[in-house]
A = this chain, B = another copy of it.
């Protein structure tokens, strides 16, 4: 899937996506042309999906994070899904097996705001809200092996 060189490239770019090909090449012990080619192929193979930035929610005023499980009432599934997608504070939502149909992550600035948002779907779904107290594992890469 990924050989050892690819892995090192991915790890280095995960830490700093702005480093030049030259720096990257030195970091992984390869020449610039080879490194450049590797990166290009990782993109072509769809392994590197994008070069992006990591934002700090707290620095944007989002001091509260919640994980909400949502079980739409009978016949309301599609409406609820659309409602959730339309809430900009929902930064991610998965449709899952089991009783809880959706699991959404929300960034909010206060409990009041959270309450407001949940009220919008209260008549169309049962919700179960968990407030995030800490993050024992922050977003990280899975094994690249």
Contact = CB atoms under 8 A, between A and B. Distances in A.
Interface of A: 1-2, 10, 13-18, 45-62, 65, 67, 81, 84-85, 88-98, 100, 102-104, 107, 128-144
B13 A52 contact: yes
Given A59-B45, A60-B144, A67 B53 contact: no
24 contacts: A1-B60, A13-B52, A13-B53, A14-B55, A15-B50, A16-B50, A17-B52, A17-B53, A46-B59, A47-B55, A47-B59, A47-B60, A48-B55, A50-B53, A51-B51, A60-B142, A81-B136, A84-B137, A88-B142, A91-B137, A92-B139, A93-B135, A96-B130, A98-B130
Contacts of A134: 94-95
A128 B103 CA distance: 13
